[in-house]
Structure 1
Amino acid sequence: MTTATALTTAARVADAVKVYGVGDTAVRALDGVSVAFPAGRFTAIMGPSGSGKSTLMHCAAGLDTLTSGAAWIGDTELGALDDRRLTLLRRDRVGFVFQSFNLVPTLTVEENIRLPLDLAGAAGEAEWIDALVDTVGLRDRLHHRPSQLSGGQQQRVAVARAFAGRPDVVFADEPTGNLDSRTGGEVLGLLAGTVRRTGRTVVMVTHDPVAAAHADEVVFLADGRLVDRMESPTADLVLDRMKAFEVPS
């Protein structure tokens, strides 16, 4: 089983190009990027501001469309889907964790976790949801609402919600951006631990070398291009690699 997982791709893009605007004002956010995100792994995407890392995540997740090239979730090409089928794919096979938590304030913790399942009209797997609740450590907060939780607790709810439907891949966009360093570290440890315990896949955009060090691998972008990959990253190694992108003034 371990060998099969290692050979499986949860998401990928090939020759991905994304251009915003036209003519003299056009911005080439992605410039021929080809990258695969292995299943059962935690991958971080890093790069300088404007490198295209968020654009890559959005296009790989089906939140935005490519100008040219192709993107897949598993063996499903996103460009071949109409709007309805793409919406269903995102609902059923993709999870999201955002910097701003995006919880529904009128729902309890338990209801927020189950929200993707309820929207899909699915019962979900009781044992799986129960295990997620214990994984994020919110058993005693299930009936609280977001306003009664700390920022770190709210992001833990968002993490559990992202994994609730057993998605093929969870995309996390700067998930610790609104958290202090200690709480952010706890959330990153939670993401990494969930990958290890459940075999799910996480792809995270971050600007923080310390955050990237929680991943199994870091993918580096610069000027819309894939420029490097790093296995078993440490904060110091990632920081040194990022310094190479700095242009002397």
Structure 2
Amino acid sequence: MTTTTVTTTVPTAARVVDAVKVYGTGDTSVRALDGVSVDFPVGRFTAIMGPSGSGKSTLMHCAAGLDTLTSGTAHIGDTELSSLDDRRLTLLRRDRVGFVFQAFNLVPTLTVAENITLPLDLAGGKGDREWIDALIDVVGLRDRLHHRPGELSGGQQQRVAVARAFAGQPDVVFADEPTGNLDSRSGEEVLGLLGRTVRQTSRTVVMVTHDPVAAAHADEVVFLADGRLVDRMAAPTADKVLDRMKAFEVPS
């Protein structure tokens, strides 16, 4: 009798393979990424951490198609980004990628509802109204839809930005220090929201942060140092992440 072992692989929403990014030339060049290979699984919340200058923001920008690699490849799903011309790359970012930044980037003259659907409106589509309606409840903005950004707290504005990022049902949402402009309570609300959105919608979030408390909301943390991937931590806690980060500070 023979037995068959079946292995299952989790599909990836985004990944980079042998990623190298060099800024400048000659003696002034800086190697921001030095052969990084990392995958971001579908339906997971992944945090990217590392000391200042470790390459974490560069990794996110290249994985999201906001910047190009010097060598190596970046993929959204099965699509290799360097194979796309500028027009198709723009369409991919619009249709398959969402972004949340430290600055909320809301249009002050538009209502909450209009800000949430703005990318869809600019693309000439209406999106899935049932999805957007459910998303409004996930982010807790039902009673703020007709308000403008100036009438909201910072935390509420970032919740609008999160809803906008997910409105088009992207394959992956990239968040760059999304709580950087928020007080601790509002930051906790936004991080909890990102986690709930991943769990309730099976979407994928990749977040760059320097904060161990923020990273603890993720399913996994990947650590960079000197442009290289040096560790991965599943089920992180703030204390475990802090201890790992302290290791980077030990004098050589």
Cα distance in structure 2, aligned partners of 1:222 and 1:116: 35
The share of aligned pairs that are identical, in percent, is 86
Residue in structure 1 matched with residue 46 of structure 2 by the alignment: 43
Q: Aligned residue pairs: how many?
A: 247
Residue 49 (structure 1) shift = 0.2
Aligned mates of 2:53, 2:182 — CA distance in 1: 23
Question: What RMSD over aligned residues (CA atoms) do the two structures have, in Å?
Answer: 1.4
CA–CA distance in structure 1, aligned partners of residues 109 and 25 of structure 2: 42
Q: Which runs of 4+ in 1 moved over 6 A?
A: none
- What does 1:125-136 align with in structure 2 at a 5 Å threshold? 125-136=128-139
Structure with greater Cα Rg: 2
Cα deviation code 1:41-61 (max 9, x no counterpart): 000000000000000000000
Between the aligned partners of 2:129 and 2:35, the Cα distance in structure 1 is 43
Q: 1:118-137: CA deviations, max 9, x gaps?
A: 11111111111111111111
Deviation at 1:217, TM superposition (A): 0.1
The yes-or-no answer on 1:71 pairing with 2:74 is yes
User: Which consecutive residues of structure 1, in runs of 5 or more, have no partner in the other structure?
Assistant: none
Distance 1:6 1:125 in 2: 29
* Aligned residue type for 1:31: D
Which of 168, 181, 187 lines up with 1:165 in the alignment? Answer: 168
Q: Comparing 113-122 with 47-56, which one deviates more in the overlay?
A: 113-122
Of 109, 117, 120, which aligns to 1:117? 120
SS of the aligned residue for 2:248 comes to coil
CA distance in 2, matches of 1:6, 1:201: 16
Please tell me whether residue 11 in structure 1 is matched to residue 14 in structure 2: yes
- In structure 1, the residue matched to 2:63 is 60
Q: Is 1:177 aligned to residue 196 of structure 2?
A: no
Mapping of residues 225-236 of structure 1, within 5 Å: 225-236=228-239
Deviation at 1:6, TM superposition (A): 6.4
1:192 to 190, 195, 205: 195
Give the distance between the partners of 2:92 and 2:15, measured in 1 at CA: 15
